[in-house]
């Protein structure tokens, strides 16, 4: 976490621990802090405060976006999603499909891009939601969300559009009005904020069936005692990430590019995914021929390099990445993939250090 985040959160562990729905002074203080955090979060993405729903993380945000929109008031609307989505979206799509909702998944091209015109061909008048992430969490490839929204509207489709922008926010400016989306998911821990806090932007007027019932918090869209401390920390993290974006892009891109340059010089057989299209500046996704990435990951871990074979959210999974299979890679290629990523704490020399560590592990 960014140090400013914990500084802002600390009072809500002790002096201001009130329940934001209560009638007394400590509760009012908590309520005021919660609503101020909502206003600050909304301002960072061009939204209105009443369009912000605090959730228990990005996974819950994705679930609520998909299930809540297509099941609103007993409906069974159709869903079209990209096949490279995070499992939080894909398994939500599978879940509503089991309830009778028509579903379709659309593959990415070989560069990892989900093409708007291909998505449009899978949409029908019965489609209630289209979900395509703003940038892929494994490859870092940025997706053409604004173009997708325009393509759908040009064809006369009124389906809601959801984008998982969890991986994108740190380096990419996110403005919900400019993108034209109806629902957008974020997670605080990707920005130097607390784990276990998510955001769902819900455009005013969009109906949402709650996934959690109880006290009717979040305007009835997500019940449960508010995590005031987490909301405050999320607001600070989003503000700091927005203010730090130029430096963040420059620093992470410099380390990523140095990392890839050293590998290209000394290990030219290593292939970098998505080099022909726009990628997030901190991502480097590699396929290493004839290498078992799981064994390599353990070697790197012993060298103090924390590397992922795919989505870092997937618990202990060693199967081939669905993202890479969607892009047309075979199972062998997909199982030889590693994801390196650089973040707001990255320092000069980290890219070179990571490259040297990988080269050493491959000997």
Tens digits of residue pLDDT in 216-258: 999 999 999 999 999 999 999 999 999 999 999 999 999 999 9
CATH of domain 246-361: 3.90.1150.10
- Rounded CA-CA distance 106/120 in Å is 10
Structure tokens at 326: 């969607």
Helix pair 25-45, 228-243: axis angle to 10 deg: 30
- Rounded CA-CA distance 94/102 in Å is 10
CATH 3.90.1150.10 domain extents, the chain:
246-361
Task: Write the pLDDT tens digit of every residue in 42-87.
Answer: 999 999 999 999 999 999 999 999 999 999 999 999 999 999 999 9
Say if residue 316 is exposed, middle or buried (CB neighbours under 10 Å; 0-12, 13-18, 19+): exposed
Coil vs helix vs strand at 107: coil
What percent helix, strand, coil does the chain show, rounded to 5? 45, 15, 40
Q: How confident is the model at residue 316 (pLDDT cuts 50, 70, 90)?
A: very low
232 to 16, 20, 35, 109, 159: CA distances (angstroms): 12, 13, 9, 40, 33
Q: How confident is the model at residue 313 (pLDDT cuts 50, 70, 90)?
A: low
Structure tokens at 158: 């009124």
Say if CB 307 and CB 297 are below 8 A apart: yes
320 to 141, 293, 311, 325: CA distances (angstroms): 18, 10, 11, 8
Residues 6+ apart with CB under 8 A from 72: 207, 208, 209
| 362 DSSP 8-state letter | T
CATH topology of domain 3-243: 3.40.640
- Summary mean pLDDT of the chain: 95
Least confident of 15-24, 247-256, 291-300, 346-355: 15-24
- Rounded CA-CA distance 2/217 in Å is 28
Residues 6+ apart with CB under 8 A from 353: none
What is the per-residue pLDDT for 294? 87
Mean pLDDT of the 201-212 span? 97
Helix pair 228-243, 245-266: axis angle to 10 deg: 70
Task: Write the pLDDT tens digit of every residue in 139-188.
Answer: 999 999 999 999 999 999 999 999 999 999 999 999 999 999 999 999 99
**Nearest residue to 37 (alpha-carbon basis) of 232, 228, 239:** 232
Coil vs helix vs strand at 56: coil
Greater model confidence, 234 or 309: 234
Would you say residue 20 has pLDDT above 90?
no
As a residue count, the chain comes to 363
What is the per-residue pLDDT for 315? 47
CATH 3.40.640.10 domain extents, the chain:
3-243
Residues assigned a catalytic role: 313
């Amino acid at each position: 976490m960014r140090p400013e985040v914990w500084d802002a959160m600390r009072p809500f562990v002790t002096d201001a621990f009130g329940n934001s729905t209560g009638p007394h002074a400590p509760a009012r203080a908590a309520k005021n802090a919660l609503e101020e955090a909502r206003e600050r979060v909304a301002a960072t993405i061009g939204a209105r405060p009443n369009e912000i729903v605090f959730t228990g993380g990005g996974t819950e945000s994705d679930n609520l976006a998909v299930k809540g929109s297509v099941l609103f008031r007993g409906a069974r609307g159709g869903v079209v999603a990209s096949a490279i989505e995070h499992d939080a979206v894909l398994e939500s799509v599978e879940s509503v499909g089991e309830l009778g909702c028509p579903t379709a998944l659309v593959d990415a091209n070989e560069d990892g891009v989900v093409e708007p015109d291909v998505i449009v061909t899978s949409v029908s008048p019965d489609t209630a939601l289209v979900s395509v992430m703003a940038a892929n969490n494994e490859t870092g490839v940025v997706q053409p969300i604004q173009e997708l929204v325009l393509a759908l509207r040009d064809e006369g489709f009124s389906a809601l559009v959801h984008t998982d922008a969890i991986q994108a926010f740190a380096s990419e400016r996110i403005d919900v009005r400019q993108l034209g989306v109806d629902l957008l998911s974020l997670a605080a821990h990707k920005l130097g904020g607390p784990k276990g806090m998510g955001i769902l932007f819900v455009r005013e007027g969009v109906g949402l069936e709650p996934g959690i019932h109880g006290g009717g918090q979040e305007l009835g869209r997500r019940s449960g005692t508010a995590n005031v401390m987490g909301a405050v920390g999320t607001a600070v993290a989003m503000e700091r990430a927005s203010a730090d974006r130029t430096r963040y892009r420059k620093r992470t891109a410099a380390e990523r590019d140095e990392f890839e340059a050293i590998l290209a010089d000394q290990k030219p057989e290593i292939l970098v995914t998505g080099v022909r299209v726009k990628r997030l500046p901190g991502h480097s996704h590699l396929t290493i021929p004839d290498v078992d990435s799981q064994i390599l990951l353990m070697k790197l871990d012993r060298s103090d390099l924390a590397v992922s074979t795919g989505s870092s959210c997937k618990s202990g999974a060693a199967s081939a990445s669905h993202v890479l299979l969607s892009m047309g890679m075979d199972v062998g290629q997909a199982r030889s993939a590693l994801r390196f990523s650089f973040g707001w704490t990255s320092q000069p020399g980290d890219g070179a250090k990571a490259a040297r560590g990988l080269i050493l592990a491959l000997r």
